[in-house]
Amino acid sequence: MTTAHGLDAAQDTVAITAPGTGRRKPPRLGQRRLTFDYVSFLLVFLVLPVAIFLIFVISPFVQAVYYSMTNWTGFSPEMDFVGLTNFGRLFSDATFLQAMGNNVILAILVPLITLSIALVFASMITVGGPSSGQVRGLAGSSFYRVVSFFPYVIPAIVIGILWALIYSPAGLLNGILSAVGLDTNQFAWLGDERTAMGASIFVIVWGMVGFYMVLFIAAIKGIPAEVYEASRLDGAGRLRTTLSITLPLIRDNVQTAYIYIGILALDAFVYMAALNATGGPGNTTLVMSQYLYRTAFEKSQFGLASAMGVVLAVITLLFAAAVFLVNRLTGGKDDGGRI
């Protein structure tokens, strides 16, 4: 008796007749008949996305790699191939190395601070309520969610300009501090090497923490309430519940968030350009994307700027790979799909 599943499999496979025997060989595993549905599926969901990716992602990157090995000015069709000379110039340029160091600082601190605050807020809003009764968040959690998410809907350039005015010597921050009795003597928060980077990091965190809080809220709501009720019965407090229950169960969301905000921190062009267009005192807030822009459009050295872009792309890929590796080494992947 032939089942419907057997008929479908027979229709999807191609029978092969052995020469001279008249007998059919058993169909090869996975061999399918090229029907219209199968071909159209491949074209729409495989060939077309791959073609778009190659044209709009891989091709520009390959062109950038080629331009990085030339002395192209960006406004002339002439260019000479100079090999790895531009890369040698970059790694002997103290300003570029400082900008790279600033990017590394941002890539370490911004994701760590932002995601920690976002996780705390998300836990308070979802499961940080009373320790008895139904598992729920703090009273008025919907209001806190809207207020925390509000900065994310403001464009980054507006946030940067807004906080540049707040940080100015005659700005709101110094006014508030003076009103409470702390005379700052019109301190320039973005004009001092000791505070420029910290003030810039605060602005990025302020602008991004709401989005990742909402992301973590959605992830936490996917955890069964019985898990939290069981942890309550075992006597786990809020901090232990967050670290031992919530964080491991939303590990994949945290990994994705870390990569996304790490990439933003490695760029940070809009925030840094709006806060301190010159790179800050002693280039303390200068990032590679700012230096790239200045090199390309102010100095007309597009070949050298392309080399900076290639270095930034490689650092970004290494950052993403490092996050995946750390996640795997700390138990983020199941062994062979087993739980």
SS (H, E, C) 239-275: HHHHHHHHHHHCHHHHHHHHHHHHHHHHHCHHHHHHH
What per-residue confidence (pLDDT) applies to 32? 62
Q: Which residue has the higher pLDDT, 34 or 245?
A: 245
DSSP state letter for 17: E
Specify the amino acid at residue 210. Answer: G
Mean pLDDT (the chain, rounded): 85
Q: How far apart are CA 84 and CA 65, in angstroms?
A: 10
Residue 11 pLDDT > 50: no
Distances (CA, A) of 332 to 133, 138, 140, 261, 311: 32, 30, 34, 19, 29
Specify the amino acid at residue 306. Answer: S
Q: How far apart are CA 247 and CA 253, in angstroms?
A: 9
Q: How far apart are CA 53 and CA 250, in angstroms?
A: 29
Q: How many residues does the chain have?
A: 339
Residue 13 pLDDT > 50: no
- The predicted-structure confidence for 281-322, as pLDDT tens digits, reads as follows 999 999 999 999 999 999 999 999 999 999 999 999 999 999
First to last CA, the chain: 38
Q: How far apart are CA 228 and CA 126, in angstroms?
A: 11
Q: Which two tokens stand for residue 133?
A: 């009764």
> Per DSSP, which regions of the chain are E strands?
16-17, 24-25
- The predicted-structure confidence for 139-164, as pLDDT tens digits, reads as follows 777 787 888 888 888 999 999 999 99
DSSP H helical ranges for 128-195? 141-149, 156-167, 172-179
Confidence category of residue 28, pLDDT binned at 50, 70, 90: low
Residue written as token pair 């191939």: 81
Residue 135 pLDDT > 60: yes
Q: Please, are residues 332 and 255 in contact by the beta-carbon 8 Å criterion?
A: yes
φ, ψ of residue 273 in degrees (nearest 5): -65, -35
Per domain, the residue ranges of the chain are: 1-33, 93-329
Sign of the four-CA dihedral 124, 326, 60, 158: positive
φ, ψ of residue 125 in degrees (nearest 5): -75, -30
Continuous segment of H or E residues that includes residue 115: helix 94-127
Confidence category of residue 133, pLDDT binned at 50, 70, 90: low
Question: Region 215-227: what's the mean pLDDT?
Answer: 90
- The predicted-structure confidence for 170-188, as pLDDT tens digits, reads as follows 999 999 999 998 888 889 9
Bridge partners (DSSP) listed for residue 16: 25
Q: Look at 42-51, 118-127, 203-212, 329-338 and tell me which has the smallest mean pLDDT.
A: 329-338
Specify the amino acid at residue 280. Answer: G
Contacts of 147 (CB under 8 A, 6+ apart): none
Q: How far apart are CA 219 and CA 142, in angstroms?
A: 16
Confidence category of residue 8, pLDDT binned at 50, 70, 90: very low
Q: Look at 7-11, 173-177, 249-253 and tell me which has the smallest mean pLDDT.
A: 7-11
**What is the number of other CB atoms lying within 10 angstroms of the CB of residue 260?**
16
Confidence category of residue 1, pLDDT binned at 50, 70, 90: very low
Superfamily of domain 93-329: MetI-like (1.10.3720.10)
